[in-house]
Amino acid sequence: MVNKQGLWFLTLTSLALVLSVYYITMPNELLLTNNTSYLDKETNEEVVSSDGVGDTIITESELITSMRVELEQERLLLLDELQDKLTNSNLTVDEKNEVYEDLRYISEISTREETLERKIKDEFKLDSFIKISDDVVDVVISSTNHDKSLAVNIMKSLQEEFETKMYISVSFKE
C-alpha cells in the first residue's frame, strides 16, 4: 500500500515529467524573445542575423520535418502507454518506479537529441535530424554536399557530448 507521502511524491514527479515533456515538444519560436531571429510565416524560412555580415536564410528540409513528426508521434504514443501504466492501481511500487524511469529516459533522450541538433546547426550551419536509441545515434543531415570529412567532423563533435562510446552514423539527404 502506498502512503500519502509516497502518493504526493509520485503525483508531483509525474506532473513535473509531463510539464518537461510539454516544454520539450513546444515549438522553439514561442520561446524566442530576441528580435534578431523570427519566423517568416509566408515562406516558412527562419531569418537569422549574423555578425554584421548580412542575413542568412535557413530553410528546413521537408524530409527532416517529416522524420521529426514521425518520431514525435511514436514517442507520444509510448508516453501515453506509460502514463496509463503509471495510473494503473494494479501495479506494484517497483513496477511504477520502472515505468517512471522509462518516462524520465524518454524525456532525457528527447532533450539530448534537440541539444545535438542545435550543436550541428551552430557549428556546421546544417539542418539535421537525430535519433538516439540505446548506444546508436542516427544523424540525417539536410545537405547537397556529401563530404566524408564533414561526416567525420560531425561524428567527432557529437561523440564529445557522450561519456561512453556511441555508434554514430551520419547520412546526407536532400
Look over the chain and give the mean of its residue pLDDT values, rounded to a whole number.
80
Instruction: Please give the order of strands across the beta sheet that includes 55-58.
Output: 37-40, 45-49, 55-58
Helix or strand holding residue 171 (H, E): strand 167-173
Residue ranges in the chain assigned as alpha helix (H): 4-25, 62-87, 93-124, 148-159
Please give the CATH architecture assigned to the domain spanning 4-173.
Answer: Orthogonal Bundle (1.10)
Angle at 136 between CA 133 and CA 141, to 5 degrees: 100
The yes-or-no verdict on residue 47 having pLDDT over 70 is no
* Percent of the chain's residues with pLDDT above 70: 79
Cα–Cα distance for residue pair 129/158, rounded to 1 Å: 13
Q: Is the pLDDT at 18 greater than 50, yes or no?
A: yes
Domain boundaries, the chain: 4-173
